[in-house]
Structure 1
């Protein structure tokens, strides 16, 4: 099972594996819709309890295979379909739960006598609405109804917001641990045919943001005053039949004020991988209950998120294939593993981060300065800058100098006197919304993975990654550097998209954040991404 994934379970289901009469002997099917104690999917989602590991069985896969790899306490959800296999359960405290969707049922055509539970394993459950007449040795049958709600504690709260047209944005606020800031927000942007009823989608994506950003900051709004197909990648993708999911990692919810950051001491990339995989399992669960099936998902990581995405894919190579969530990988404008020719600088930067960690500096307040400068600019864009190093520039020109690479990070093509592709006020508005703090350990791991002298385990199995890869980059951003990482994998399905404007030099060419914010982004970046997702 996923070693870093927090176990997941749903407490109450309206769609349950049941036994009924059939023309075939020993065939088990779900009852008809009017026999079920139905609950809307969003009510079930709000009762989702992150306390059990989840395995999905898709139509055409083997239920027995899922049982074989399950551990005690796991729950196995079975997609509607016909399964011809005799099941033997040799483990305690696992649940088999069949799903009823759009009049499709789970049918178990068992060529053996019954589902068999090895004697002594009495706590295994096959969830059933009508528990009579199931002659299996030691497998208990439980009927779930509204009474099961009593005493259940919700770990998640959901909100739904209309974005325009028939596009809606769902947020799921999830408690991932016991600390004050052990929380993430899971996002979904989807086209609906009626309230809470999603249209059938043609592809899917799960998006992980970059440093000092969250899902809304860089993907959904990215400093735009209005969300539409030209300004918002999630909106564009949802409009074109893609089921869009994403996450706000836990550190994005840490405010400006804390003076004691000791809680961040062990918050590294591995923790963000753990949260991302847990969120992807939840996303697959909700997709299954809203008509999209339990299919694995394409994982996109942007900037810092590239480390999370590659690290998650690396980890999943060590899991049984039925336990994996990732079906495709989309690294965007970062290299993850550096070419050996450039390792010296990575080693020195990693060493400086570790020195600060050893001195008790567990957070990296990179976002604090950004927020302050952007807020100053929003208030008075035409005032002359009072910041050292930006003398002679207005506040807006100062922000354009920063955005175009004054500090070494080429967010946007351009210079202090204008951006080539993006409205500079989007960059300013984005700056006011950033996250003030990141874990220092996350920065250390992100850089240390490129240093051969340091042992960082997030890349241990990158050479075993076989999923399709679509590498997207900007010539004025990371450029082709990320190609080296793709060459380390075993993937045979690799495509590259480098946004390169031949009319520009490197400094004014398409930049790092232009991928999400440029006037041309929908045509140059999001359209090719959509086409790749539709193929995968």
Structure 2
């Protein structure tokens, strides 16, 4: 066995001991981790490097865990020990790299990235990609139908156990770590902490709701309608919620921004990305004026630019999206919001919680969920640029990750909270 193979075998053994699996699924996953596996290392900036581990956990085409670690190094493959650690879960039409280390994406982004920022503040930063991010455009998606929330919870548990085991070896620290997520990754963070939570010392939800407030009955009704439509699609054999719209829009905006769009002929390619980012509520009204990026609006309400995130970072975010996404996961997330599926209660969560919202995203609508946990240590921060009369122009959902001022407004408070917990 190679030296690297021996290291991974030791880590897997440690993972099994740390995990004490409660379910057969997780036990089987941990037991099946074996060679062949792939481990890569790439430079981010300064002494910060990105490690990626692809580890097979089953026999289906995409039964792999893609685990990420962004860390400062003492020397190649030798991380600088850190006393604080977090695992970050990505959102829709993204993976760990494109959400949190976008400078390594394809295409590369000018956004510096939350993960390197946290690492530079002494926080060992991990992540795991959900399985639907793995297939290529023409890849095997025959197991896409099985990629639901329960599988994602199980994969998160295994990834957390692997991270803790690795830190036992490299940092002499077997302790629990924080779990944070962005968007639907934050909904998964809530779900994991409510269902299991054994590996986590604290959780952070970046702009999401899990329980919808009574006064937001219209948002619940939307989730119920989406869940019903999604169930119908699943019954008809639709398993792929394709990200082709975002990919094509992003690519065209980068290559021929001023040409008429083949997607929406009344817009230019640039105009399509500006509209998808700044008027997202047209397609996805998670809140009444929900948008991914704070728009600059003209007198007619058209988007003429973006005020927080650069067009380069937003188009790169779109263009680098994984081609496939699980319809089942989307439906099950909607069913959690609707309240029509068995789900773990937020009352099971007793660890510290940090909610970071964007006024133009889920924003204040995400605060109700923070009142439903049993934790006595709850911190909330919603970033507002304007008053409620200008929410349509305010800090957007994706601005938490890509805005020029995100390090000051969002990442700094998040890092301070992690260092305190």
Q: CA deviation at 1:208?
A: 0.4
Q: Secondary structure at the match of 1:283?
A: helix
TM-score for the superposition, normalised by structure 1: 0.69
Q: Does 1:346 align with 2:223?
A: yes
Contact 1:46/1:157, CA 8 A, preserved across alignment: no
Q: 2:373 aligns to what?
A: 489
- Partner in structure 2 of residue 421 of structure 1: 308
Alpha carbons of 1:154 and 1:49: their partners in 2 closer, same or farther (altered >3 Å)?
farther
* Contact in 1 for aligned 2:355/2:380 (Cα 8 Å): yes
What TM-score comes out, normalization by structure 2 length?
0.87
1:158-169 mapped onto 2 (5 Å cutoff) = 158-169=39-50
Q: Which residue of 1 aligns with 2:238?
A: 361
Q: Do the aligned partners of 1:474 and 1:511 also contact (CA within 8 Å) in 2? A: yes
- The worse-fitting range, judged by mean Cα deviation, of 211-220 and 378-387 is 378-387
CA apart distance, 1:465: 0.9
- Match of 1:472, SS state, is strand
Structure with the bigger RCO (C-alpha within 8 Å, sep 6+) is 2
Determine the C-alpha separation between the residues in 2 that align with 1:371 and 1:227: 14
Mark the CA change 1:505 to 1:154 in structure 2 (over 3 Å): closer, same or farther. same
- Find the counterpart in structure 2 of residue 384 from structure 1: 260
Which residue in 1 is equivalent to 2:126?
A: 245
Whole-Å separation in 2 of the counterparts to 1:170 and 1:235: 12
Q: Residues of 2 paired with 1:203 and 1:525: CA distance?
A: 18
Aligned length: 398
CA distance, structure 1, for counterparts of residue 176 and residue 239 of structure 2: 35
Q: Does residue 8 of structure 2 align to residue 46 of structure 1?
A: yes
Corresponding residue of 2:299 = none
Higher helix proportion (structure 1 or 2): 2
Where 1:174 maps in the other structure, the secondary structure is strand
Q: After superposition, where does 1:268-283 map in structure 2 within 5 Å? A: 268-283=148-163
User: Is the CA contact 1:403–1:412 (under 8 Å) kept in the aligned structure 2?
Assistant: yes
Task: Report whether the alignment pairs 1:433 with 2:329.
Answer: no
> How far is the alpha carbon of 1:347 from its aligned partner?
1.6
Q: For residues 68-108 of structure 1, give each alpha carbon's deviation from its aligned partner in whole angstroms, at most 9, with x where no partner exists.
A: x999x99xxxxxxxxxxxxxxxxxxxxxxxxxxxxxxxxxx
Deviations 1:255-285 (A, max 9, x none): 2225x85522221111111111101100111
Q: 1:171–1:186: 8 Å Cα contact kept in structure 2?
A: yes
SS at match of 2:232: helix
Distance in structure 2 (CA, Å) of the matches to 1:273 and 1:310: 10
Q: Compute the displacement of 1:193 (Å).
A: 2.2
The CA RMSD over aligned residues, in Å, is: 2.9
Shift in Å, 1:177? 1.2
Q: Secondary structure at the match of 1:277?
A: helix
CA distance in 2, matches of 1:52, 1:264: 30
Query: Which residue matches 1:372?
Result: 248
Q: Kindly indicate whether residue 334 of structure 2 is the aligned counterpart of residue 447 of structure 1.
A: yes
Contact 2:107 2:320 in 1 (8 A): no
Q: Are 2:62 and 1:181 aligned?
A: yes
Question: Which structure has the larger Rg over C-alpha atoms?
Answer: 1
CA distance in 1, matches of 2:202, 2:270: 40
Equivalent position to 1:397, from 271, 295, 301 = 271
**Cα deviations by residue, 1:35-59 (Å, 9 ceiling, x for unpaired):** xxxx96x5533336868962349xx
Q: Offset of 1:209 from its aligned partner?
A: 0.2
Structure 2 gaps, min length 5: 28-32, 285-289, 297-302
Name the CA distance, whole Å, in 2 between partners of 1:448 and 1:48: 39
